[in-house]
Chain A
Amino acid sequence: MTVAMRLGGVAAPRRARGHVSERARSEHRLAALLCTPAVLVILAVTGYPICYAIYLSLERFDLRFPDQRGFVGLGNYGEVLRSGYWWQALTVTAIITVVSVAIELVVGLALALAMHRAVVGRGLVRTVVLIPYGIVTVVASYGWQYAWTPGKGYLAALLPESVAPLTDRVATIALIILAEVWKTTPFMALLLLAGLALVPEDLLQAAALDGAGPWRRLTKVILPLMKPVILAALLFRTLDAFRIFDIIYILNQGSNGTASVSMLGYDNLFVGFNLGIGSAISVLIFFIVTIIALVFVKLFGAAAPGAEARKRR
């Protein structure tokens, strides 16, 4: 409310003088005031901690041996990069990310096309599809875990006797991907559905008149027009899948070599109590995510969600 009074008192008389530059200045001031809280929170809770993480990553800092704390340069990074666990977790994370995002794109596109053409129960379909999106990941993960537990689950009952998928590494990774795909495909589908709405109907009719079948219409008309939306969705989902944590934590705690990089970072902090190594892992993950984002933006020209605001002014 103090903001309101200051703005009211400052801005009104200035505009009365009719000065364009004054007006612009008051606009800048208003903008600064409005953005300050957001900027402060962001700097305090992400900006400062990430700098602090870089600092911590250069130190030997084990909570079990606080006396041995000291500067070790890039030693922690060397230790992480020499560790088999890191590369294993990175591989697992990369596989989960690539496979699940690829499946999500295909299934999501199919879902979007079905929802776009839905004639009966359109509202119902859009409502139920939001349930996987909204459901708490921990909840969904327990559902999958029980479903695949032999003797307990309806899905395990479909498998041959004495097969326990969650004890096998490859099967577990496949099930992690399944759980991830189930939960996040609806989000992908809704983004693509909104993109489909941008494809002009008469263009499709014209293509059909020219003899283009459904497949050609999809690949030659719909997909090229949807490219910006697809790229934005892919970028968003890739970075989101890369930080996968909840599903693995619930399904099997990352045992049998199925830990993701986020699991590894968590374990180093809360099982290993090693802040130095944990921070080095944090910084490395941050670095990788930045590279992925840069590749998407520079190589594919992806405009991330919200970036259209830049074009506006």
Chain B
Amino acid sequence: MGTRWGHKCWWAVADLAIIVYALVPVLWIVSLSFKPLDSINDGRFIPAEFTWSNYQQVFRVASFVSALRNSIGIALISTGLSVVIGTLAAYAIARLSFPGKKLLIGGTLLIAMFPQISLVTPLFDIERKVGLVDTWPGLILPYITFSLPLAIYTLSAFFREIPWELEKAAQMDGATPFQAFRSVIVPLAAPGVFTTAILVFIFCWNDFLFAVSLTSTEASQTTTVAIAQFTGSSEFTEPTGSISAAAVLLTIPIILFVVFFQRRIVTGLTAGAVKG
């Protein structure tokens, strides 16, 4: 009994270590974002005094406000389109047999592993010619493409968990394949679709390489790029405070997703890789 209790203690310590590991670097940025300009370089983990001025400052930067709008808009549109396209393909992969299925799975797999830099050079030249550089569609297109594998795998893994018989039963009752899809599968699949949407959104929200390569002005620049190009309020001040405040703002949606949908996200992340 004693050793069992000792074991529990040991695992509790391990849990605590994990929590420290995950939170300390994040809390550090939060701490920086609340430090006033004169003590931001004091190297203390906990701010000696708190201020909201960094947050007020960051919203006065026009490029950040437009970048926030661009980030939210581009990520939402990309997520919506990617999930719709991914749902159609995942349904086919999970439920239907058809020639070329292996090829489709292999092809999407290839993209999941694709080095994105390999695409940036040609895509930049193509988008430059057709006038897509520095536009929303110019970013949405690569985002859809690179999130599609994630969407297709996660969704088809979820779809395979849905009981086949219900669809069969619906078809038996005279439903067409599409009716069976819409009235039987869709309600059952909604949680999986929702989870996939979160994962895809995080992917788009996170991107830096495409954003820094394919945008140039406030018309389409996203937050990740805007932050990296912050300058201080005057040429003698470092932008540390503004960058930290902006960084915290970018982290808020992630924290909300993680806190409210932890279980779903874990299932979604591991569904494609583990279940056979």
Same complex:
yes
Binding site for B on A (CB under 8 A): 3-4, 7-8, 11-12, 15, 24, 26-28, 30-35, 37-39, 41-42, 44-46, 48-50, 52-53, 56, 110-111, 114-115, 117-121, 123-140, 142-144, 146-147, 151-154, 156-157, 182, 186-187, 190-191, 193-195, 198, 229, 232-233, 235-236, 239, 242-243, 245-246, 249-250, 261-262, 265-266, 268-270, 275, 278-279, 281-283, 285-286, 289, 293, 304-313
The answer to whether B28 touches A45, judged by C-beta atoms less than 8 angstroms apart, is: no
Q: Which 7 A-B pairs have the closest CB atoms?
A: A31-B98, A194-B270, A114-B14, A49-B122, A45-B145, A38-B89, A305-B273
**In angstroms, how far is the closest chain B Cβ from the Cβ of A94?**
14
Size category of the B interface is: 35 or more
B62: chain A residues within 8 A (beta carbon): none
Q: How far is B224's CA from A245's CA once the two chains are assembled, in angstroms?
A: 13
Residues B258-276 near A (CB distance < 8 A): 258-259, 262-263, 265-266, 269-270, 272-276
* Chain B facing A: main interface SS: helix
A118: chain B residues within 8 A (beta carbon): 11, 14-15
The answer to whether A309 touches B93, judged by C-beta atoms less than 8 angstroms apart, is: yes
One digit per residue, 1 when the CB lies within 8 angstroms of any chain A CB and 0 when it does not, for chain B 224-243 equals 10011000000000001001
Q: Which of B22, B85, B148, B244 has the most chain A CB within a 10 Å cutoff?
A: B22
**In angstroms, how far is the closest chain B Cβ from the Cβ of A92?**
14
Q: Which of A34, A144, A283 contacts B25 (CB 8 A)?
A: A144
Q: How far is B270's CA from A146's CA once the two chains are assembled, in angstroms?
A: 33
Q: How far is B117's CA from A265's CA once the two chains are assembled, in angstroms?
A: 7
**In angstroms, how far is the closest chain A Cβ from the Cβ of B269?**
6
**In angstroms, how far is the closest chain B Cβ from the Cβ of A27?**
5
**In angstroms, how far is the closest chain B Cβ from the Cβ of A229?**
6
The answer to whether B123 touches A45, judged by C-beta atoms less than 8 angstroms apart, is: yes
| Cβ-based interface call for B162 (8 A) | no
**In angstroms, how far is the closest chain B Cβ from the Cβ of A45?**
4
A128: chain B residues within 8 A (beta carbon): 18-19, 22-23
Q: Which of B44, B125, B254, B272 contacts A136 (CB 8 A)?
A: B254
Q: Given A41-B144, A119-B8, does the pair A130, B18 have CB atoms closer than 8 Å?
A: no
B125: chain A residues within 8 A (beta carbon): 52, 56, 275
| Cβ-based interface call for B177 (8 A) | yes
Q: Given A191-B269, A286-B115, does the pair A143, B25 have CB atoms closer than 8 Å?
A: yes
**In angstroms, how far is the closest chain B Cβ from the Cβ of A268?**
8
Q: Given A123-B262, A136-B224, A198-B274, does the pair A306, B105 have CB atoms closer than 8 Å?
A: yes
Q: Given A120-B12, A127-B262, A147-B28, does the pair A31, B92 have CB atoms closer than 8 Å?
A: yes
The answer to whether B258 touches A151, judged by C-beta atoms less than 8 angstroms apart, is: no
The answer to whether B118 touches A50, judged by C-beta atoms less than 8 angstroms apart, is: yes
A45: chain B residues within 8 A (beta carbon): 119, 123, 141-142, 144-145
Q: Which of B21, B247, B266 contacts A142 (CB 8 A)?
A: B247
The answer to whether B273 touches A46, judged by C-beta atoms less than 8 angstroms apart, is: no
Q: Given A136-B205, A144-B25, does the pair A131, B254 have CB atoms closer than 8 Å?
A: yes
Q: How far is B26's CA from A134's CA once the two chains are assembled, in angstroms?
A: 11
**In angstroms, how far is the closest chain B Cβ from the Cβ of A238?**
9
Apart from A8-B176, A124-B15, list 17 A-B contacts with CB within 8 A: A35-B92, A38-B89, A45-B141, A110-B14, A114-B18, A119-B8, A128-B19, A135-B251, A137-B206, A138-B228, A143-B32, A233-B273, A246-B208, A282-B117, A305-B273, A306-B112, A309-B94
